[in-house]
């Protein structure tokens, strides 16, 4: 019954009109409705009979609406379970069903919250922060009608990690595939997930700086499998973890975009997990007064409620600056997959890291026999990109891992996370996937990029992000809706011709800065063939035109390379990536640190038919329908 009600809700929302629920019933549902026996009645009672039938149908409709409302409310309560910190997931419900259409209606607003005890204006979706979690399976169609209820801000949504094959205009990248959704307007994102696509993803704003102030949510695509009633069910839960600033990100970028920052990244004040945190109010500094109320340990939910067995934790770094290292007292963490479903070969460790902004990892949590009396969930903010000090920040954050930690009052804070012998370095993982012929073959096109932050006097000593001497800035119309003759000199967009035989691409990103850059490529996943981090004072760039692989710095992995869509380019080093350009369109590539992207560290690729470098045949005028010019 619940499945039929869900199908009915989806049909109602796709049509944008739920007034006539009965008319949406399928033939099977109509056959299931109770019917009266076929008997002969006097004609004088026919009016009474009609009234009875109408009354019955009205009562049935009202009951259906009540049950439907309960079903929707149940889904919402599951997504925002107050009894545990991790968002519970429902893999069996989705992985064992047929592909379907999932429809959502989201209203975006602003409101005051105190995620970690400090009040701040954050974005809400349907009144929730973070926004709703979408769960689906491979092959599903997803329809999201987004209403911009903000007063004076445009917005867009990006589906981080999804290939969006055939749906370039739905990618949500302002400047590339759309203009922002204007206030008091709406837009429908409508796309289909590939049949071979599954894993941990997430959605977030790709307009201005809204992601840093809370406009994001989870997106989990389950791998299809047969239903086995005898199979042991594994709990799954989602963790959206990221650094957190008590000031608006607009103020953060304004500070960074001034000579005062000297190009040093801003340092966060705290972290939040699924919209909650525990900030020590005594650490606030007088120069930045805040309205803070400490969260009592007894009021904070545990990470999970299950103190035995195994739990699959799907972890997303939603932050804007810092990498994350994770550990759980009395439990091991084993990496299972990274990014969009790439299975990895890894042992269990006491701690796992570093997970950079935009990256994801699935961890198998197993409780040990010598479980701690009060187990804590530990999160450490990597210091590499925290050039300036922040006396308001404690880089070690601890949260109750189990209910017994919440009820234990011997201490309010756990000891700092310590790296033990069994630490799993995510940069050292290898894939368990079979090696691809495309990966092991020579690439047909090589693209060489240099990323850097520069503070030049010609620009007033304001730090700007550059890729190959170009600092990106969006135009008034998205590139997808224009041909190349209309692009300005801030659009560094290499052309990749790819016809019936897709082009194999080797992408080299050299990082000239002394801090890492997590780069995300829209529309594609890629294999990480090589990654190199230079020692202090040296430079480890890779020149594919002058260097052989055997002589280049760093180790190569062409046998079992990781498949990812977001990768950290090490400081003063490089990555060598490989992908098959089989997804036509205009796709963005950018640093996922917002202050870097916000100051120009972005580029992209135009993938089109050979001979269409001017972007005439691939032009999509619908990409400009939201633009106000």
pLDDT tens per residue across span 127-184: 999 999 999 999 999 999 999 999 999 999 999 999 999 999 999 999 999 999 999 9
* Nearest alpha carbon to residue 309 among 331, 329, 326, 337: 331
pTM reported for the whole predicted model = 0.86
Q: At what angle do helices 46-79 and 2-15 cross, to 10 degrees?
A: 90
Pairing of strands 566-569, 517-521: antiparallel
Work out the mean pLDDT of the chain and round it to a whole number: 85
φ, ψ (nearest 5 deg) of residue 55: -60, -40
Instruction: Provide the 10 A C-beta neighbour count for residue 369.
Output: 5
Helix ranges, 334-461 (H):
403-407, 437-440
Burial class (CB in 10 A: 0-12, 13-18, 19+), 502: middle
Mean pLDDT, rounded, for 361-365: 97
Between 70-79, 276-285, 328-337, 582-591, the lowest mean confidence (pLDDT) is in 70-79
Instruction: Give the pLDDT score at 456.
Output: 86
Looking at the chain, the number of H-run helices and the number of E-run strands are: 8, 33
- Using a pLDDT cut of 70, give the percent of the chain over it: 82
| Contact criterion met (CB below 8 Å) for 406 and 302 | yes
Place of tokens 């240099």: 450
Round to whole Å and give the CA distance between 185 and 531.
Answer: 44
Average pLDDT, stretch 395-405? 89
DSSP-derived secondary structure letter, 7: H
* 3-state DSSP of 450-464: EEEEEECHHHCCCEE
Which pLDDT tens digit goes with each residue over 442-491? 779 999 999 999 998 888 889 999 999 999 999 999 999 999 999 999 99
- Which tens digit of pLDDT belongs to each residue from 3-18? 433 443 443 444 443 3
- Note the pLDDT of residue 629: 66
For residue 79, pLDDT beyond 80: no
Model confidence at 436: pLDDT above 70 = no
For residue 431, give the DSSP letter: E
Separation of alpha carbons 168 and 184, rounded Å: 25
Percent pLDDT > 90 in the chain is 64
What is the residue whose two structure tokens read 């479980």?
371
Closest CA to 74 of 2, 146, 144: 2
pLDDT the model gives residue 232:
54
- Inter-CA distances, 545 with 469, 557, 589, Å: 19, 19, 22
**Is 1's pLDDT higher than 70?**
no
Structure confidence at residue 414 (pLDDT)? 54
The structural domains of the chain, ordered by start, are: 2-79 (no CATH), 88-224+235-431 (2.60.40.420), 437-624 (2.60.40.420)
- Would you state the pLDDT for residue 81? 64
Given a cut of 90, whether residue 578 has pLDDT beyond it is: yes
The whole-number average pLDDT for the span 563-578 is 96
**Closest to 194 measured CA to CA, from 269, 139, 272:** 139
* Total residue length of the chain: 629
pLDDT (average), residues 107-111 = 97
pLDDT at 368: 87
Mean pLDDT of 392-398: 88
How far, in Å, CA of 503 to CA of 364, rounded? Answer: 37
- State how far the Cα of 472 lies from the Cα of 66, in Å rounded to an integer: 51
The pLDDT-based confidence of 76 (bands split at 50, 70, 90) is: very low
| pLDDT tens track for 495-544 | 999 988 899 999 999 999 999 999 999 999 999 999 999 987 788 999 99
Higher-confidence residue: 381 or 42?
381
Question: What value does the mean pLDDT take over residues 50-69?
Answer: 45
Return d(Cα 356, Cα 565) in angstroms, integer.
Answer: 12
């Amino acid at each position: 019954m619940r499945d039929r009600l869900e199908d009915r809700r989806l049909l109602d929302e796709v049509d944008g009109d739920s007034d006539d629920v009965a008319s949406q019933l399928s033939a099977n549902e109509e056959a299931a409705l109770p019917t009266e026996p076929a008997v002969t009645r006097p004609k004088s009672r026919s009016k009474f009979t009609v009234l009875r039938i109408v009354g019955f149908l009205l009562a049935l409709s009202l009951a259906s609406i009540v049950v439907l409302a309960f079903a929707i409310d149940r889904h919402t309560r599951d997504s925002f379970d107050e009894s545990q910190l991790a968002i519970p997931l429902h893999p069996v419900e989705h992985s064992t069903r047929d592909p379907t259409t999932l429809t959502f209606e989201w209203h975006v607003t602003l409101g005051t919250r105190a995620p970690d005890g400090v009040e701040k204006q954050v974005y809400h979706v349907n009144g929730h922060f973070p926004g709703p979690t979408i769960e689906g399976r491979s092959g599903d169609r997803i329809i999201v009608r987004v209403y911009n209820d903000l007063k004076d801000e445009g917005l867009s949504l990006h589906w981080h990690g999804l290939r969006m094959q055939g749906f370039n205009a739905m990618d949500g990248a302002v400047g590339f595939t759309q203009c922002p959704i204007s206030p008091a307007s709406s837009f429908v994102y409508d796309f289909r997930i590939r049949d071979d696509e599954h894993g941990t993803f997430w959605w977030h704003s790709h307009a201005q700086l809204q992601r840093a102030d809370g406009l994001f949510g989870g997106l989990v695509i389950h791998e299809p499998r047969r239903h086995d009633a005898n199979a042991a069910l594994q709990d799954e839960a989602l963790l959206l973890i990221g650094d957190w600033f008590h000031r608006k990100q607009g103020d953060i970028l304004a500070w960074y975009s001034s000579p005062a920052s000297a190009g040093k990244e801003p340092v966060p004040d705290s972290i939040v997990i699924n919209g909650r945190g525990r900030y020590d109010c005594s650490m606030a500094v007088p120069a930045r007064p805040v309205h803070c109320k400490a969260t009592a340990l007894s009021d904070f939910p545990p990470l999970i409620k299950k103190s035995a067995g195994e739990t699959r934790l799907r972890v997303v770094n939603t932050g804007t600056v810092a990498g994350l290292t994770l550990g759980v007292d009395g439990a091991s963490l084993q990496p299972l997959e990274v990014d969009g479903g790439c299975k990895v070969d890894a042992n269990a460790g006491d701690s796992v890291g570093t997970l950079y902004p935009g990256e994801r990892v699935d961890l198998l949590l197993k409780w040990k026999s010598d479980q701690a009396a009060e187990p804590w969930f530990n999160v450490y903010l990597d210091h590499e990109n925290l050039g300036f000090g922040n006396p308001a920040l404690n880089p070690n954050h601890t949260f109750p891992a189990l209910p017994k930690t919440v009820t234990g009052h011997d201490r309010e804070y756990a000891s700092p996370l310590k790296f033990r012998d069994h630490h799993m370095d995510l940069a050292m993982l290898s894939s368990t996937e079979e090696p691809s012929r495309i990966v092991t073959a020579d690439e047909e096109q090589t693209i060489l990029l240099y990323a850097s932050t520069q503070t030049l006097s010609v620009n007033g000593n304001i730090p700007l992000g550059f890729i190959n001497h170009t600092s990106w800035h969006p135009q008034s119309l998205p590139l997808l809706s224009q041909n190349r003759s209309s692009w300005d000199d801030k659009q560094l967009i290499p052309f990749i011709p790819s016809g019936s035989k897709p082009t194999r691409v080797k992408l080299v990103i050299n990082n000239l800065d002394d801090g890492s850059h997590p780069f995300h490529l829209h529309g594609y996943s890629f294999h990480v063939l090589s990654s190199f981090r230079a020692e202090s004072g040296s430079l480890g760039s890779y020149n594919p035109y002058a260097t052989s692989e055997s002589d280049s710095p760093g180790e190569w992995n062409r046998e079992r390379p990781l498949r990812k869509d977001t990768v950290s380019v090490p400081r003063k080093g490089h990555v060598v990536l490989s992908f098959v350009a089989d997804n036509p369109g205009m796709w963005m590539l950018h640093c996922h640190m917002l202050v870097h992207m916000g100051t120009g560290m972005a580029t992209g690729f135009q993938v089109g038919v050979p001979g269409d470098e001017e972007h005439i045949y691939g032009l999509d005028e619908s990409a400009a329908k939201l633009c106000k010019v």
